[in-house]
Structure 1
Amino acid sequence: NNDHTVKCCKYPLQQRHQSCYPIQVPNDDPYYKFYPRKCMDFVRSTAGAKPNCPLGPRHQINVVSAFLDADIIYGRTLATSKRLRKFVGGKLRSTQTYRTIGLKDLLPYKTQNADNGCERTGHGSQSYCYDTGDDRSNVQIQLTVMHTVWLRHHNQIAEVLAEINPHWNDERIYQETRKIISAMIQHITYNEFLPIVVGRQAINKYGLNLAKYGYYHGYDSKINPGIPTLRQPFSLNHPGVLDSFLFGLINQPAYKVDSTMANEITNHLFQKPGEQFGLDLAAINILRGREMGVPGYNFMREYCGLPKLNHFNDLYGLVENTTIRRYMQLYEDVDDIDFWSIGVAEQPLPGAMVGPTFACIISEQFSQLRNGDRFWYENGNGLHKFSPEQLKEIRNVKLARILCEASDEMETIQIYPLLAAHPNSNPRVNCDDLPEMDLSSWRDSYLSYKK
């Protein structure tokens, strides 16, 4: 809750909380020089103990699962997952505001701890944020849209499973639906999303290609899949609003990954009503990396097998010339450059959104997420595995079909919605022409029903 966060700048140095590490704003800041702001709140992360408690950089506590297990939809705790469930037919709770005019359900309202994770317009307001498995779902409207998409898809699958298996109870329908949704997210992430971010070259180098047939046997129990350190609500509660944002997500080109950031997140992040400025995400990212002991850019280049930089001139060709000149003004040595700062500024690899160092770190992490997850959807070991027929259906899943089924009125979409439509390489097609997942492979036989 924002009302209970540690405040640093409002107190003298001797009275500040021990976790305070505020950012000092220079007098010549291009934005804040027009305002009486000389300090920006920054609170160190809660420290987490490492095995055997060795000395070294501080490690934070990660309260979310590293696995791609759809916990953003279902919650990371049993209490959250129970709060989000309807406990009827394996479904999740939803808001049924516009069913009478033929529109699909929306996310449930967050009525318990209503101000936790968002800021409503005044105390006791009757406007509510949405309740999901992730506290960040109300921070950005696009996140809210995708949470709504997966809520709707969960309930659609649950309905079909209940229909083909009338003897299943609520718990079994819910757990099997959750398992299917998790597999879908894993498949779409590796099949449609990662190739765009890191490029096909990194996909091949780090073994991120998904198996086309049979089971995947890359699970290794010795691999640690953990991820190391290296709110005003907007309402969808109007007819047609969700589809409008979906159309925007699939049709409007995204800005490229580079060293520039929008003013909304460098000067107005989490800005409260009536105030003239908020926080600076770029400054926070850099300081958070320093707080956690994230190595510099040169160290990470060597880690990824790239040539070490000896001086600033070695940066030419890797980042834009204007960025190099700024680094020369800000840093004494090329070894001092913060990893995040230059990571987003690297020239992207062919067919990728990021440069070689970020591609290395991202690809390595996703390789560990796959090979260190014994519940990975392609795995053929254990009682949790999908049957070959079920696995075939999951491999046919496309994000485009899911968006079509979750929308209210969408009729056409490009085959790969994470890429811009193109008449030849990525044409728009009718939603009905996209392959539909056949859930008949999840039908219990009469013999298993009798048992």
Structure 2
Amino acid sequence: MKFINKSIFLILLIVLSKTQADSFDEVNLIKTRKVVIDNTFYEKCVSKQFTCYSSAKYRSMDGTCNNLQNPLWGSSFSPYIRLDKAYYADGNFSMRVQFRDGKPLPSARTLQVGIFWMQTPSWDIPDINNYQVNQFGQYLAHDITLMPSNFAVPPNDCCEVQGQKNIPLSCQAVIKVEANDPSYSIINKTCLPFKRAMTAAIDFNCPIFPQIPFNQQTAFIDASQLYGPTPKKAASLRSFQGGKLKTEEINGQKFGIQVQRNGSKLCGGRNNVNYCFNRGDVRNNQHFGLILYEETFLRFHNLITDLLIELNPHWIDETLYHEGRRIVIAFEEIIVYRDYLPILLGKDYCDSVGLSLSKDNKTVYDPTIMPQLAVEFSAAAFRIPHNVAPMFYYFLDQNYDVTEIYKLNEFMGIADQIVPINKLEELLRGMCYNQGRSPLPNYNPLITSRLFHGWVKGAADQDLASIDVQRGRDSGIPPYYKFREICGFKNITSFNDLVGIFYDDFDIGRLQLFYDSVFDIDFIVGALLEKNVEGGMVGETARCIIADSFFRSRNGDRFFFDVPDQPGSFTEEQLDVLWSLDLSQLFCLTTNIDQLPVDIFKPLEVLDMYDCKSIELNLGPWKVDNTG
């Protein structure tokens, strides 16, 4: 097997069978391990027969046929893989219990209050990066992972059925709230609603045991949050004219199409919402920052198709659409690996393990690499960046004076505030100018007690930190000590072994107040308490798991933008254009903003600026000679 940059990093040799396969070996950190991947889904649960064409220039909408030998690898609506065995009390689906006595683990909310609550400041401690790092990370997450619960089956609020006979299986994991809870006791709230994730066996009639959740998105970075993860969804968003995505004009501005204005499920059933956009991912209306990214990426696609049709007036709608999509995907891939991951994981680390991009060292596609994301990544490790979600959105005018301030939790699922003239630009300016939230162990207080405040019944006043702990248990991921072993770090056999790993050794004492054994610590709890790696925003254990999935998603992707010698490979001239682009230029090209920082992830006041009027997109290398 070939290795990027001669690194020996995280290559997970997945043999889709009942046999075991060596997993991965990271530079001096990750020891060779064994994983067992069930082949049931691929052999027994898919009736459709695939005919894949090696000559295909464009990737499919649902990720199928990326791997010609294994057409379903990385496709949407397929099961996650595991990096270790499932940790369920009954070996199948019951939530993990205490190691020593088999009693229930402490409530996720009890852990949030007892370990993190007292350390949570009432303001955002500023970071060296701005809001854009958090926002791009969430936009990316919505591209590659969605672990849905089945809200089509009642009840929506699982707390309402507690105490009844025959509680639905999906509602048997609500989060207990203590009577002395510092926030919820005031409103007599004793239960936080929680629905278990949909699994292959229970929800899709695919007998994989132990249970394994499904990924509704493709595992590839393919802008499915914009275009949709299935052909049907993608078709619903297309205009079928000039390769464009559908738009509507609102206040003289182009926005994407909307769903039903009032009572739409995509906007949480709220009756006071006037604008609710329809995109490739159901979470797109979640808050202002996501809507900004969805709208500007949509406009970017349509701008590209306008330029392509000028260069190639003979191209039909289908060609324009897929070529535009191909360029947008390549752009997102570049931002992820060139700009975002070095900030999240540390540049030196990315260089050393083969995650960095290089013009001179192109990605080597390896068809033996399973690109599907690990459940440990989606249910835990890539949730760690929730700790940098800011409390407020600031809107700034051209003079950088604040015009509006909105609390994150009170304006979720609402787009009304950003559709008036210049408001998208004011939001963008605020996200660039204001320093982001420093990556500390705690989440901001607005999302740990008042998440979705004022939203729909059953979702209002949630705690994201508790949800993240519970989702890890729901998915059967290993406890914290096991992740340390998976990543090749020193084995954890006692609380004393945690000394020097966390921000503050005092946290070890807090853990002992709630966990009976060091073997009980939830992964996300331990990972949040870890010291951040040098030059990065997460601890070393989370970094290990995050890096694994991004390595496989890239090196197991036949259509990744710089993979050579494929029917869909870009020319060197086209690659030069793609390499020259950055996120600031995209925002310049798709909004009426006057200037933006050259480095979109750093606060405005410390950086060189682009004059947005001078930014142009030259797609000359895409011109095709049609004289013959």
Cα offset, 1:353, TM superposition: 0.7
**Where do 1:289-438 residues align within 5 Å?**
289-319=472-502, 320-408=504-592, 410-421=593-604, 423=606, 426-432=607-613, 436-438=616-618
Is 1:32 aligned to 2:32, yes or no?
Answer: no
Query: Is it true that 1:90 corresponds to 2:279 in the alignment?
Result: no
TM-score (norm. length: structure 2): 0.66
Partners of 2:557 and 2:294 lie apart in 1 by 24
1:271 correspondence with 2:453: yes
How many Å separate the matches in 1 of 2:318 and 2:621?
19
Q: Does the CA-based 8 Å contact 1:198-1:353 persist in structure 2?
A: yes
Residues in 1 aligned to 2:357 and 2:420: alpha-carbon distance in whole angstroms: 40
1:43/1:208 Cα in 2 relative to 1: closer, same or farther (>3 Å)?
same
- Return closer, same or farther for 1:277/1:369 CA change in 2, 3 Å cut-off: closer
Contact 2:273 2:414 in 1 (8 A): no
Greater mean alpha carbon deviation, residues 205-214 or residues 110-119: 110-119
- C-alpha offsets along residues 327-383 of structure 1, whole Å, 9 cap, x if unaligned? 121112222111111212211111111111111111111111110000111111321
Q: Deviations over 1:154-189 (max 9, x none)?
A: 111110001111111111111100000000000111
Equivalent residue number for residue 47 of structure 1:
199
Who is 1:119 aligned against?
268
In 2, are the aligned partners of 1:120 and 1:129 still within 8 Å (CA)? Answer: no
Contact 1:258–1:346 (8 Å) recurs in 2:
no
1:224 to 2:370 alignment: yes
Letter in 1 for 2:197: S
2:256 paired residue among 97, 107, 110: 107
Cα shift at 1:114: 5.9
Instruction: Read off the aligned partner of 2:534 and give its amino acid letter.
Output: P
Q: CA deviation at 1:112?
A: 8.7
Query: In 2 relative to 1, CA 171–23 (structure 1 residues): closer, same or farther, beyond 3 Å?
Result: same
What's the offset of the Cα at 1:117? 2.0
Query: Secondary structure of the equivalent of 2:256?
Result: coil
Deviation at 1:272, TM superposition (A): 3.5
The answer for the alignment partner of 1:200 in structure 2 is 347
Partners of 1:130 and 1:138 within 8 A in 2: yes
Residue of structure 1 in register with 2:314 after alignment: 167
For 2:235 and 2:185, locate their aligned partners in 1 and report how far apart those are by CA, in whole Å.
49
DSSP 3-state at the match of 2:247: coil
Q: Of the candidates 7, 10, 13, which is equivalent to residue 160 of structure 2?
A: 10
2:191 is aligned with what amino acid?
C
Tell me what 1:59 maps to.
212
User: Structure 1 52/307 Cα, relative in aligned 2: closer, same or farther at 3 Å?
Assistant: farther
TM-score (ref. length: structure 1):
0.90
1:283-323 deviation digits (Å, cap 9, x = unpaired):
11111111211111111112112112333233333222443
Higher strand share: 2
Q: Which amino acid aligns with 1:241?
A: K
Q: How does 1:209-220 map to 2 (within 5 A)?
A: 209-213=356-360, 216-220=362-366
Alignment match, 1:285: 468
Shift of 1:91: 1.1
5+ residue gaps, structure 1 = none
Partner of 2:432: 250
Q: Secondary structure at the match of 1:419?
A: coil
Please give the alpha-carbon distance, in whole angstroms, between the structure 2 residues aligned to 1:43 and 1:333: 27
Instruction: Please say which of residues 151-160 and 256-265 is displaced more in the overlay.
Output: 256-265
Residue 403 of structure 1 and its aligned partner are, at CA, apart by 1.2
Change (3 A) 1:432 1:351: farther
Contact 1:206 1:364 in 2 (8 A): no
Task: Name the counterpart of 2:621.
Answer: 441
* 3-state SS of 2:265 partner: coil
Q: Matches of 1:430 and 1:234 in 2, distance apart?
A: 28
Q: What secondary structure, in the 3-state scheme, does the structure 2 residue paired with 1:413 have? A: strand
Q: In 1, are the aligned partners of 2:269 and 2:456 still within 8 Å (CA)?
A: no
Q: Which shifted more, 47-56 or 310-319?
A: 47-56
Deviation at 1:237, TM superposition (A): 1.9
Asked whether the 8 Å contact 1:202–1:363 carries over to 2, the reply is no
- Pick closer, same or farther for the CA change 1:126–1:22 going to 2, 3 Å: closer
Q: Which amino acid aligns with 1:234?
A: A
Q: What amino acid sits opposite 1:346 in the alignment?
A: E
Choose from 239, 248, 251 the match for 2:421. 239
Which moved further from structure 2: 14-23 or 176-185?
14-23
- Give the AA of the match of 1:45: A
Does the 8 Å contact 1:120/1:232 carry over to 2?
no
- Aligned CA distance change for structure 1 residues 121 and 364 (closer, same or farther; 3 Å): closer
Q: CA deviation at 1:433?
A: 5.8
Amino acid at match of 1:304: C
Greater relative contact order, per chain length (Cα 8 Å cut-off, separation 6+): 2
Q: Deviations over 1:429-448 (max 9, x none)?
A: 323566x442010001134x
Percent identity over the alignment? 30
Report the residue type matching 2:274 in the other structure: S
Classify 1:342/1:314 alpha carbon distance in 2 versus 1 (closer, same or farther; 3 Å): same
One-letter amino acid of the structure 2 residue matched with residue 115 of structure 1: S
What residue in structure 1 maps to residue 8 of structure 2? none
| Most deviating of 367-376 and 275-284 | 275-284
Greater mean alpha carbon deviation, residues 316-325 or residues 410-419: 316-325
In the alignment, structure 2 segments of 5+ residues that lack a partner are 1-149, 377-411
**Residues 217 and 192 of structure 1: CA distance in aligned 2, closer, same or farther (over 3 Å):** closer
Cα separation, 1, equivalents of 2:242 and 2:262: 27
Identify the match of residue 170 of structure 2 among 19, 25, 39.
19
Q: Say whether the 8 Å CA contact 1:42–1:284 is kept in structure 2.
A: yes
Once residues 461 and 258 of structure 2 are traced to their aligned partners in structure 1, the CA distance between those partners, rounded to angstroms, is 27
Structure 1 residues 42 and 294, CA gap change in structure 2 (3 angstroms)? same
Aligned residue for 1:358, secondary structure, equals helix
Q: Deviations over 1:56-96 (max 9, x none)?
A: 3x211111111000111101122221121112111111122
Letter of the 1:233 partner, please give it.
I
**Number of residue pairs matched?**
436
User: Paired residue for 2:442?
Assistant: 260
1:421 Cα deviation after fit: 3.9
* CA distance in 2: counterparts of 1:121 and 1:55, whole angstroms: 38
Q: Distance in 2 between matches of 1:168 and 1:93?
A: 19
Confirm or deny: 8 A CA contact 1:202 1:360 kept in the other structure.
no
How many Å apart are 1:199 and its aligned residue? 0.4
Is 1:140 the counterpart of 2:140? The answer is no
TM-superposed CA distance for 1:211, in Å, is 2.6
- The question of whether the paired residues in 1 share the 8 Å contact of 2:175 and 2:191 is answered with yes
Equivalent position of 2:91 in the other structure: none
Is this contact kept in 2: 1:394–1:437, CA < 8 A? no
Aligned-pair CA distance for 1:138 = 0.5
Q: Secondary structure of the equivalent of 2:435?
A: coil
Does the residue aligned with 1:395 lie in a helix, a strand or coil?
Answer: helix
| 2:287–2:413 contact (8 Å) kept in structure 1 | no
Distance 2:273 2:207 in 1: 48
Note the C-alpha offset of 1:121: 4.2
Pick the aligned partner of 2:221 from 68, 73, 77.
68
1:297 aligned partner, one-letter code: Y
